Structure 1
Amino acid sequence: MTTSLSLAERLRSGETIRSAWSTISDPLLLESISALGFDAITLDMQHGSHTEQGICQGIGTVKASGKPVIVRIPVGRFDTASRALDFGAHAVIAPMINSAEEAKAFAGAMKYPPLGERSWGPLRGRDGYGQPGSNAYLTAANQQTLSFAMIETRAAYEALDAILAVDGIDGVFVGPADFSIAWSNGLEANPHSEDIVEPLTHIARRAAAHNKLAGIYAPNSAFAKRYHALGYRFITLASDSGYLVAGAAAMLKAWDE
């Protein structure tokens, strides 16, 4: 979808954004995924193979396709959140945010003063970032770059309203697998669990009540539709390795029929 609206504007208007999930840092694979019908691309540094150098290059590849790019940083690496924005990311997902204090630290790295403490460091000049005599990026960045705090633990769930109330946190993002581990007290890693449907619904509703965004990782299209019905509007679908497996399996099945 080609649009002049930013990722932030599209999500805040109520549009549903379907994002690919990239774990493999190969540039040709990322280029191919960027050409598919997804609305955005998410690069995973936490469990994927993307490095700082990789996301710098990868963000350029995705932006060349005209799509917004989101980066999930490693746990606690808020310095990497600032770096991802310097590289041109439109949004950052921070895993394992378990308290308002951690949310404030994340927001501080994402937002310029007076809202946060992000340092000024121009890199991609073609974005108008850091050009002499221009404050266009500075004045717009706090609204246009999105910070998503991941809700994955019971501690995060209990602190949900406090996390959502933090200035500079634009939304929450749920990892159903880790959430299912926490919700079952370590008995299972099952994003399909019926037991987590009620708390996932609660998370989306509380985000809406705070006028914040709600995002979630969906393991497949059926769950993406289910999460959408619960109120999630930023949904990442499966992963690049999954796309390869599904595509190959479909071709082989068609051959055998």
Structure 2
Amino acid sequence: MTSTLKQLMARGTTYGMNIYSTASMPIEVAGNWGLDFVFIDAEHTSLGVDRDMEKLILAAKCSNIHSLVRVRGTLDWDIRKALEMGASGVIIPQVHNAEQMRSIIRSSKFPPMGRRGGDSSVRSANYAGPNFDWGTYTQAENERTVIVPMAESYEFFDNIDAILDVEGIDAVHFGPADYSLSRQLPVDYRLGNPEVLQRLELLIEKCHARGIQVMVPCFPAEGETAKRLLAMGSDMLLMGSDLSWLNQAGHSIAAVREQLQ
């Protein structure tokens, strides 16, 4: 790929989609249609940070689309392995405080930013191939990798300033469903609850003041919703998922069957 994900982010709005299956096909299709990134989920699926994940990261590379891996939590092993496999970045769920955020940076960045463990026999180091140099490699990795904590709990917003002040955050992903669950509110991806909408507005304000972008699910994945989110200041839009598009096709088929009965 000619541009890193960070470079695309710096140019303007980026568009992606969630991947919940273990199949490479949806990623290749997303690349064919010119999306900027895929959000590969290892938190709520059967995927681990393993050979199945490696296959999906390679599918993204072959399809000229960036891969962000949502790891299982603030696990040093998951974060490091996803980046070593060649993912463009990691998304970390359930970040509640600044200490968690500092741990994420320690795991994902080489010194002087963090304490990421290193090995040259990995894809991100080009397997110590031609002209490999440790200094060049670690600096390039620190610049390349995109770190995205998730704001999906009332605790995140209780500690929002301390979390966002941790150096090394590139974007924050707002999770309206888990935020609603943490507050025992009805789940509504359309942001119909005033409290949930206010939290997104606050997140955008505080992130933009620090040069941090905001990633938001666009639901429903249509033009009017996207325009609304962009007008609010959202930077990275998730335009549905492989599962949601399959469900939409299923709904259409069911509607046709009803008409024909």
Residue 51 of structure 1 corresponds to which residue in structure 2?
A: 48
Q: For 1:80-120, what per-residue CA distance to the aligned partner results, in whole angstroms no more than 9, with x for missing partners?
A: 01110000011111001110100000111110011101111
Q: Which blocks of at least 5 consecutive residues in structure 2 are unaligned?
A: none
Determine the C-alpha separation between the residues in 2 that align with 1:224 and 1:48.
Answer: 26
Residue 24 of structure 1 corresponds to which residue in structure 2?
A: 21
Q: 1:92 to 1:155 in 2, by over 3 A?
A: same
Determine the C-alpha separation between the residues in 2 that align with 1:205 and 1:89.
Answer: 28
Matched, 1:91 2:125: no
Determine the C-alpha separation between the residues in 2 that align with 1:34 and 1:4.
Answer: 14
Instruction: Compute the displacement of 1:167 (Å).
Output: 1.4
Q: For 1:28-61, what per-residue CA distance to the aligned partner results, in whole angstroms no more than 9, with x for missing partners?
A: 4443444334221110011123222221111001
**TM-score after normalising by structure 2:** 0.87
Code of the residue aligned with 2:198 in structure 1: it is E
Structure 1 range deviating more: 120-129 or 84-93: 120-129
Instruction: Compute the displacement of 1:252 (Å).
Output: 6.6
Q: Secondary structure at the match of 2:64?
A: coil
The answer as to whether partners of 1:16 and 1:233 remain within 8 angstroms in 2 is yes
**TM-score after normalising by structure 1:** 0.88
Could you say what the CA RMSD is over the residues aligned between the two structures, in angstroms? 2.3
Residue 107 of structure 1 corresponds to which residue in structure 2?
A: 105
Determine the C-alpha separation between the residues in 2 that align with 1:91 and 1:243.
Answer: 24
Residue 245 of structure 1 corresponds to which residue in structure 2?
A: 247
Instruction: Compute the displacement of 1:231 (Å).
Output: 1.1
Residue 75 of structure 1 corresponds to which residue in structure 2?
A: 73
Alignment of 1:121-200 (within 5 A): 121-125=119-123, 128=126, 130-131=128-129, 133-134=132-133, 135-182=135-182, 185-192=183-190, 193-195=192-194, 196-200=196-200
Q: 1:122 to 1:234 in 2, by over 3 A?
A: farther
Code of the residue aligned with 2:193 in structure 1: it is E
Matched, 1:229 2:231: yes
Matched, 1:206 2:203: no
Instruction: Compute the displacement of 1:164 (Å).
Output: 1.1
Determine the C-alpha separation between the residues in 1 that align with 2:156 and 2:230.
Answer: 22
Code of the residue aligned with 2:13 in structure 1: it is T
Q: 1:118 to 1:221 in 2, by over 3 A?
A: same
Alignment: residue pair count: 252
Determine the C-alpha separation between the residues in 2 that align with 1:43 and 1:80.
Answer: 13
Paired-residue identity, %: 23
Q: Secondary structure at the match of 1:246?
A: helix
Matched, 1:7 2:5: yes
